[in-house]
Amino acid sequence: MNDTTQTRVLGRSGIPVSALGFGCWAIGGEWFAADGRPLGWGPVDDAESVRAIRRAIDLGVTFFDTADVYGTGHSEEVLGRAVAGRRDEVLLASKWGSVFDPATRTSSGAFDVTPAHARRALTDTLRRLGTDRLDLYQFHVNDGPLDAAAELREVCEEFVAEGLIRAYGWSTDDPERARLFAAGPHCATVQVSCNVLADAPDMLTLCAELNLGAVIRGPLAMGALSGKYGPSGTATLGAGDIRARPPEWLTFFENGRVTAAWQARFDAVRSILTSGGRTPAQGALAWLWARGPHTVPIPGIRTVAQAEENAGALAFGPLTEAQMREVEALLAS
């Protein structure tokens, strides 16, 4: 096991975090787009969510990533409840940019990219989390306008100076946008979509070049890498799960199952991912850790069992260089 398996650093901030993070989208419960499409992962048991968070902390997970729009505020509230009394043991990251209505649990689909909204959103996030500071604050508009982003970078620097946040970043898959934000001295991360089925080499190269932490969303391909939703899988998706009626950007699922094309890629590398006794999910995390010392995957977790399975990946460490080459060759063929 290398020395970056248990702990990594959030880029130039120097903030140490567990190599595994905890994604808090799912614990937000059900919420919907203006047209009624689900944006959450279905109903959740808040008490189980709290238990899962606390179990993850006990297992060494320190990094928790949420967003104000997840459950239209509910995810932040549940996370805040779970870490009450343990705030100094964890690092809290959230995101802003979406316009939503907690009363109806709907997101309008619009974004507010003004500095004034960023400040209001941060105030609300801190209240819901029950804390006076965030460790990481991330702009949550993947293709946000560059001119507005330059202003937001400056307001984030103000938040740092005021002690409201320690560092900031952008959740984007565009290198140009990431580079613009990285011009700020306290920009520490980029949150990027990446997994063994759909790599992001340009973004990971940029993170290495600019000394940015790569917070990895979708590390399990929205559950496609769990092995539970393929042709032989037994799990089913409820009507309130975004994967049951996936938006255009969510390509891993169709009609509630993993698509044939993505399933074929998974099947090609499954034996490598499960080597040494790993589960498929643990192998997918191991692949990400082997992609570089700056990656911090944040798989979505909502049960104690999921927390234990994902945290169990830490003991196995990253895939070997030989395994990484084999995966690359298989997926290229």
Our answer to whether residue 168 is catalytic in this structure is no
CB 98 within 8 A of CB 107: yes
Residue located via tokens 């993993």: 258
**Residue 255 region by backbone torsions, left for phi larger than 0, else alpha for psi between -120 and 50, else beta:** left
Query: What DSSP letter does each residue of 31-52 carry, written as one string?
Result: -EETTS-B-SBS---HHHHHHH
**Amino acid letter at 197?**
L
Reported residue count of the chain is 333
CA angle 301, 306, 312 (to 5 degrees): 115
Tokens of 76: 């932040």
Distances (CA, A) of 303 to 50, 221, 245: 9, 18, 23
> CA–CA distance from 193 to each of 128, 133, 200 (Å)?
26, 26, 7
Question: Can you tell me the distance from the alpha carbon of 212 to that of 170, in angstroms, rounded to the nearest whole number?
Answer: 11
Q: 141: closest CA among 186, 99, 195? A: 99
Backbone angles phi, psi at 191, to 5 degrees: -100, 120
Q: Which residues are catalytic?
A: 70
